[in-house]
Amino acid sequence: MLDPKAFKAYDVRGLYPSELDEGGAYAIGRAYVEQFEPARIAVGRDMRLSSPTMAAAVREGAADAGAEVLDVGMVGTEMVYIAVGELELDGGVMVTASHNPKEYTGMKIVRRGALPVGGDSGLLDVRDRALTAQWRDATRGTIREEDIWARFVDRVLSFVDVDALKPLRVVIDAANGIAGVMLPPVLERLPMIDVVRCYFEPDGTFPNHEPNPLLPENREFIIRKTTEEHADFGVAFDGDADRCFFVDDTGDFVPGDFTTALFAELILGREPAGKVIYDVRASWAVPEAIRAAGGEPLVNRVGHAFIKQRMREEDAVFGGEVSAHYYFRDFSQADSGTVPFLLMCELVSRYGKLSTALAPFRERYFLTGEINTPVANVPAKLAELEERFGREGNVSHLDGLSVEADDWHFNVRPSNTEPLLRLNLEARTQAGMEAKRDEVLGVIRS
């Protein structure tokens, strides 16, 4: 089964097996190799119940099309990126549905250099080939196992000075996802970090909560546990562990914007004048922190495909998105969930308390977070918003509609998959944020 709607803007995701099954996975693996003609690729998988057979089908399809397939096993998504980057492979496929509920399966596909294959970079061509299933004759390639663990552990630990880390108590919620497999070999090298391990058993039924820390109900556990354990900070991973979300020592959730700003300061301390990419939704905290640290802030469209491409074009040292995707030049210019965890250990070792590091941001920047509203006519509503607010500030159409005034700014973007508008707004005061938020929402919801 291969439902065309399983092909999204950045990846492949669908219900298993009604929208995507092993037959569809075979077709995608074969179509990918026919489309891009890679000589060698890596295939990895997460811990979902369907993933072993889905990954096997991808491997068979890719090998039947003539590729040499390196089976890296059950790994985090970022480990496929490392395999592609450090082994100089021509591409890779990670079988995962990331943070989606247990009923889903999916794939993240990359080319050489771990560049993502998305809707505007070949994924629709892969879709069309897979649906047609008119295969070229090819000499079958090979499939062999490849152990990427030592390379991965060494690479992520290279981002921090392990000797400078102080004894810390950290709560980690792996959400029964792949973080429970990926982190232990790293933690073995960090005896000074006292980790309270929660839900580390990989279980594709997700018996405790869905592996999506963006949803407030899935953050309740890590917030409560961090305060109960009197931990220095808490960290919650999503299903394929390429994103992590932080809770400070007081139990407050840390917005991705503030995390990006903190990491930018840390990284620019090592590499002054570096370029840092951030997305259009971000708080002023991000570009202002980058400039204060001597770096060059570069705003960009939302989405890992666009961020990774810009990282390469600019040779940027770091990139961060509000959605907690963090990208590193020295990590094959790809995103990682493990590196941010390690950087946070270094930051808290330096500051003593994460809440202390965050205090200047919380005193100066007041954010709405993302507010989603269904609308009947997205283009008409965006035009109405620009007509109403455009005269009050500078307007940008880099991604949706952005308006920036002296004491507030907002971005409104349409959803890629449904008739929604997503609002992110910030002001210099709490009262100003609430007033402008209500004003903008009044137009969106009218």
Name the 3-class secondary structure at 272: coil
Q: What is the pLDDT of residue 10?
A: 86
Question: In angstroms, rounded to a whole number, what is the distance separating the alpha carbons of residues 258 and 274?
Answer: 19
Distance, CA of 197 to CA of 225 (rounded, Å): 11
Q: What is the set of active-site residues?
A: 98
Whether the bond into 167 is cis, omega within 30 of 0: no
Domains along the chain with CATH numbers: 4-147 (3.40.120.10), 151-247 (3.40.120.10), 256-357 (3.40.120.10), 366-444 (3.30.310.50)
Q: How high is the pLDDT of residue 120?
A: 87
Task: For 250-307, write each residue's pLDDT tens digit.
Answer: 999 999 999 999 999 999 999 999 999 999 999 999 999 999 999 999 999 999 889 9
What is each CA distance from 30 to 21, 41, 110, 278, 322, in whole angstroms?
14, 12, 14, 35, 35
Q: Is 418 left (phi over 0), alpha (psi -120 to 50) or beta?
A: beta
The residue among 317, 259, 319 whose CA lies nearest residue 283 is: 259
Per-residue pLDDT of the chain (446 residues; tens, 9 = 90+): 999 999 998 899 999 999 999 999 999 999 999 999 999 999 999 999 999 999 999 999 999 999 999 999 999 999 999 999 999 999 999 999 999 999 999 999 999 999 999 988 999 999 999 999 999 999 999 999 999 999 999 999 999 999 999 999 999 999 999 999 999 999 999 999 999 999 999 999 999 999 999 899 999 999 999 999 999 999 999 999 999 999 999 999 999 999 999 999 999 999 999 999 999 999 999 999 999 999 999 999 999 889 999 999 999 999 999 999 999 999 999 999 999 999 999 999 999 999 999 999 999 999 999 999 999 999 999 999 999 999 999 999 999 999 999 999 999 999 987 899 999 999 999 999 999 999 999 999 99
CB 109 within 8 A of CB 12: yes
Read off φ and ψ for residue 111, nearest 5 degrees.
-100, -170
For the chain, what is the largest distance between any 2 Cα atoms, rounded to a whole number of angstroms?
67
Res 304: pLDDT: 87
Question: Per the structure block, which two tokens stand in for 442?
Answer: 């009044």
Give the whole-angstrom CA distance, residue 359 versus residue 223: 18
Chain centroid offset of residue 131 CA: 28
Residue 379 pairs in a beta bridge with: none
pLDDT digits (tens, 9 = 90+) for 127-137: 999 999 999 99
Comparing CA positions, the residue from 332, 333, 304 lying closest to residue 316 is: 333
Predicted pLDDT of residue 418 = 82
